Copies of this chain bind each other. A is one copy, B any other.
Amino acid sequence: MAKIEVLRLEHRKKRDPRVSTHVCLAARAFGASAIYYSGERDLVLEKTVRDVVKNWGGPFSIKYIPQPRSFIKNYRGKKVNLTMYGLPFAQSTKRIAQSRKPILVIIGGAKVPGWVYGLSDYNLAVTNQPHSEVAALSVFLYEFFAHREKKFKSAKLKIVPQARGKKFSNK
């Protein structure tokens, strides 16, 4: 199966710290292998994500992209822009998942510039309703991996699922 990575556009340190953290952690939890982000560089965000990888396992990386346009243009793989204006995602997701090339999932960002639509191979909607890039990304990845959960490596912390309460197994 192809590797899948995520580009989060136009991060704003002051307005978006928590939403961007959710984006990064959801990308990791639902099976992406890397998050890239543009906008304002945010070392706190990067540290948060690396600490989660250290404790909960990987592989998963975070990298700042100063020039998202040329990054998308030069990306060797399929580019999937998630947007409420796009075509229903479910119809294309299986086909995309069969790709041998890497896949870059692109998500906004306050306002997504028009060129993102033009540079993307797919513009797909996870419902045509206004909601959340965290939600769109998660549901897309969940379908992409056909509901299979990723197995994380080198985790220090692991949860033992419980009907009630909290239980960890330290490794």
Give the interface of A toward B (CB within 8 A). 15-16, 18-19, 22-23, 25-26, 28-30, 52, 56, 84-88, 90, 114, 117-118, 123, 125, 127-132, 134-135, 137-139, 142, 147, 149, 152, 158-159, 161-167
Contact = CB atoms under 8 A, between A and B. Distances in A.
Interface of A is mostly: mixed
A118 B158 CA distance: 22
Copies in the complex: 2
10 contacts: A18-B19, A19-B22, A26-B131, A30-B139, A56-B130, A85-B165, A86-B161, A114-B165, A118-B164, A125-B161
B85 A129 contact: no
Given A18-B18, A52-B130, A123-B163, A135 B86 contact: no
